[in-house]
Every structure is written in structure tokens, then in C-alpha cells.
Structure 1
Amino acid sequence: MKARILIVDDDPHIRDVVRIAAQSAGLETTEAANGQLALVHLHREKIDLVVLDIGMPQMDGFDCCKEIRTRSDVPILFLTAQDQEVDRVLGFQLGADDFVSKPFSPRELVLRIKAILGRGKPRKDAVLKCGVLEMDPARHICRVSGHEVDLTATEFTLLSRLLAHPEQVYDRTQLIDSIYGPNNILSGRTVDSHIRNIRAKVAEFGCNDVIVTVYGVGVRLGACGQ
């Protein structure tokens, strides 16, 4: 079955560019001119990824992302007219998976979309466990003390990488490359945002040491106790 992406942008030209590039790459598309319409489509259809513009009337991309994250962990790729790190950090804190700055290359956009979708594909990995933490990559399930934790595709990839190699200390660059691939332009603050999100979500179920910082080196998996 083809993956379906939801293109959310108030500029019909941008929607046309994204739709043509996505359909040429074998993806199905749905379109919305603002954040409110996007939420309607997400309620009615099975959407595999959202391409979401930040600067929109009625409901901007950040507010739309907040609302989406209250009901879904669908991957979100932001389109932004400003290549500002503060926007990226805020977006990642809200649960975004990636950013593409306007003007953008349609080919690069499609590659990023496919990379995000690829992170969520089922794999034949064994269930990973440490302390109260359990992750099933094949079913994209994360549990803490039996409670299911809602992680985005990027958060799941990051945490499962640490869980697969619990003794290894990763610096920020290694984690960024493992998630987004080499030759990206993201900074260490991107990973910090994902780590904060993971810690907060897991802490809701009593685990406060899921990721520990090795000062001056990087981060590694914690004891995952309660």
C-alpha cells in the first residue's frame, strides 16, 4: 500500500510543487490550506506523514503540531520560510521529525519524506529490554513498566539506538547522523530537544534515568529503573 502524505500550506503553488514531487515518487497525497482543515483530514483519513507549513493564517504550523500531538504520533515535517535555529528547536520540542527550509529542492524534500517513513517501517529486530524499559521495533511499541509510551518516529529511533547499545556513549553528532544520515546541517540542540521529550514522556511512568549525560562526552542509556 502506498504511503499517504498530508500537505498543509496556504500557498497553492507550494502545495502543487509538493504534490507533484510526492506523486512522482509513488506517494499518495491529500491537501489542506490551513491547520484546521488539516486536523479534519487527520480525523477522517489514514495519514502516514504530514508536510506542515509554519506560517499560515487561522492556525499556524506550531499550533497545528501541538494539536496533532494530542491525538497522534504521525510523523511531521515542517516547511519554514526562515532557516532559524530557534524555530527548529521549538518545532522539535513540539514533536516534529524534520525541517525543510523554503525555497526547497523537491528532490530533497522527497528524500527526507522517505527517510522519515523508513524509520517507522517494521523490522525483524528482537524486543529490546533494560530495567523497566521495553521496546519492540517491529511493532513500534515502547513500554515502561507495562505502560505504553507514545514516541514520535524520531524519538523512537533515537531511544532504540541507545537501548540496542546500552554501554555505548554517543555524542550529539553520532546521534544526528544515525537518525538523519550524514551530511545534514542540524545542530546538537536538535538532539537535545528530542532527548528532553523522551525523558519527559518516560518520567510520566516513574522512570527518571532513561538517558544519562556523560559530561563532556555525550549521552548513553541509563539504568531505566523506578
Structure 2
Amino acid sequence: MSRILIVDDDKNILDLVRIHLTQAGYQVLKAENAIQALGILETEVPDLVVVDVMMPGMNGYDLTKRIREEFDLPVLLLTAKGELDDKEKGFIAGSDDYMVKPFEPKELLFRIAAILRRYDKLSNSILRVGSVTINRKSYEVSAGQSTLLMPLKEFEVFALLASHKNQVFERADIMGKVWGYDYEGDEQTLNTHIKRIRQRLAKIATDVEIVTVRGIGYKLEVHSNEISL
């Protein structure tokens, strides 16, 4: 489970973001200013930091620079400023993404997931679920003596589901993360890819299954192959 530190002097924003992140399955740490955030980072290691730009004392740009230099963690900036110069300051400071207030909580979740996915790919090239091993560098899926080379989009869908087994992914979320949020195709594309992945998996592993959650999306489950006597 990924851990996220939220830094914002607005308690309403802190609570709003905390609620949505918690509902999405993240562990949440909170700080009301940069000094508190740096203190937390001395003892905790979150996977990502969400930072407000306009804070008293040290602002979000300076805090982002400190986080990148001292802790090398990904940062998403939140700000009421939407000018190009302000965004440039954020990226120069080292932020991975930038959102302007007011924002849709669902979009914040998409962007957080995208950042975590990028870093997860860089840090974890081998993923194991049940009897299946997924190699994100070679794009190979193997089980026992069998190895599959899936088409890229099928591989990305499968790796996404496998990265959080038993977690339900909404169809729109999968489409956005794999095809991009500006993709204009319909969900039949995803249905087709899921069907093909299932067919491929059935040939090499019986303990890993992609389950349809009706009206929502999909999740990956791992079953025991042990036979009860």
C-alpha cells in the first residue's frame, strides 16, 4: 500500500485530500506547513508528497526543491496559480506534476496513480503474483517453464492489475493509465484486451485470474491450487 504525505496550510484541503486518498486505498500522512513536513520526512518514507505552493514560511517551490535534493521523492504541486510562469517554477523546483485549485479529486487520484506508476516501473522491474512472474524490462510473463510475450497494451493492463492484486480498478482508470486520459476509443477495446489476457494466462497458470466486478471494472485474484482432503 502506497503512503502519501499531504502538505497544505488549509485544513479543509488536507481533510478533502485525505478522505479521497484513504478511500482509494492509500495510507496518508499530513503536515500543515513545510517545517512539519520536513520533520515527518526525517522519520517516515512516503511514496509521494502532495505539496501546496502558497504556504506561510517556506513556500511549496522551496519545499519541493528540499524534498528532491534531500529525500529524492516524487512531488505533485497544488496551487491556486495557473499561469505558465508558475508552472515553470514548479517543474524547475523538481515537481513531477502540477494541479491548479480548485481541482476534481478524481483527477488528483489519476495524476497520483500515474506518478506512482512511473516510479514503480523504474524501481520494480520484477513483479510476482502467484505462480506468475512479470518482467517489466523484457515485457515477459512467465510461469514454470512457460513464457509469454504479450502485446504491449495487454502487458500494461496485466501488469497494472497485478501490481495491486485484489484491488478493483475502474474501467475508466485502466483506460486512462494504459491508453491515456485523452484516448477517444470506447471500453470495448479494454474488454477485448482482457479477454485475450485471460486466454493467454489460462495456458500457463491456473492460480491467477482476472475477475470482472460488474458495473465497476476488474481485479486480479490469486487462488490456491491446493486440494482440500
* TM-score computed with the length of structure 2 as normaliser: 0.55
- Cα drift, residue 90 of structure 1: 1.3
When residues 178 and 13 of structure 1 are mapped into structure 2, their CA distance, relative to the original with a 3 A threshold, is closer
When residues 62 and 103 of structure 1 are mapped into structure 2, their CA distance, relative to the original with a 3 A threshold, is same
When residues 105 and 42 of structure 1 are mapped into structure 2, their CA distance, relative to the original with a 3 A threshold, is same
- Cα drift, residue 178 of structure 1: 10
> In the alignment, what sits opposite 2:117?
118
Alignment coverage as a number of residue pairs: 134
RMSD: 2.3
> In the alignment, what sits opposite 1:174?
none
Report which of the two structures shows the higher radius of gyration computed on alpha carbons: 2
Alignment of 1:154-165 (within 5 A): none
- Superposed CA offset, 1:164-208 (max 9, x none): xxxxxxxxxxxxx99994539xxxxxxxxxxxxxxxxxxxxxxxx
- Between the aligned residues of both structures, percent identity stands at 44
> In the alignment, what sits opposite 1:40?
39
When residues 111 and 34 of structure 1 are mapped into structure 2, their CA distance, relative to the original with a 3 A threshold, is same
When residues 178 and 14 of structure 1 are mapped into structure 2, their CA distance, relative to the original with a 3 A threshold, is closer
Q: Which amino acid aligns with 2:6?
A: I
Q: Which amino acid aligns with 1:29?
A: V
When residues 99 and 39 of structure 1 are mapped into structure 2, their CA distance, relative to the original with a 3 A threshold, is same
**Alpha-carbon distance between aligned partners in 2 of 1:61 and 1:180, rounded to the nearest angstrom:** 31
When residues 89 and 105 of structure 1 are mapped into structure 2, their CA distance, relative to the original with a 3 A threshold, is same
Gaps of 5+ in 1: 128-176, 185-226
Runs of 4+ in structure 1 off by over 2 angstroms are 123-127, 177-184
* Alpha-carbon contact 2:53-2:79 (below 8 Å) kept: yes
- Cα drift, residue 126 of structure 1: 4.2
- Secondary structure at the counterpart of residue 42 of structure 2: helix
- Cα drift, residue 25 of structure 1: 0.3
**Alpha-carbon distance between aligned partners in 1 of 2:55 and 2:29, rounded to the nearest angstrom:** 17
Tell whether 2:98 aligns with 1:99.
yes
> In the alignment, what sits opposite 1:60?
59
Comparing both chains, which one has the higher relative contact order based on Cα–Cα distances under 8 Å and sequence gaps of 6 or more?
1
- Superposed CA offset, 1:32-57 (max 9, x none): 00011111111110110000000000
Alignment of 1:13-92 (within 5 A): 13-92=12-91
**Alpha-carbon distance between aligned partners in 2 of 1:78 and 1:120, rounded to the nearest angstrom:** 17
Q: Which amino acid aligns with 2:2?
A: A
**Alpha-carbon distance between aligned partners in 1 of 2:39 and 2:179, rounded to the nearest angstrom:** 30
* Alpha-carbon contact 2:68-2:74 (below 8 Å) kept: no
* Alpha-carbon contact 2:8-2:51 (below 8 Å) kept: yes
Q: Which amino acid aligns with 2:28?
A: T
- Superposed CA offset, 1:44-72 (max 9, x none): 10110000000000111011111112212
Alignment of 1:114-153 (within 5 A): 114-121=113-120, 122-123=124-125, 124-126=135-137
- Cα drift, residue 96 of structure 1: 0.4
- Superposed CA offset, 1:10-30 (max 9, x none): 000000010001000000000
**Alpha-carbon distance between aligned partners in 2 of 1:69 and 1:89, rounded to the nearest angstrom:** 16
Gaps of 5+ in 2: 126-134, 139-175, 184-229
- Cα drift, residue 125 of structure 1: 4.2
When residues 26 and 63 of structure 1 are mapped into structure 2, their CA distance, relative to the original with a 3 A threshold, is same
Q: Which amino acid aligns with 2:73?
A: V
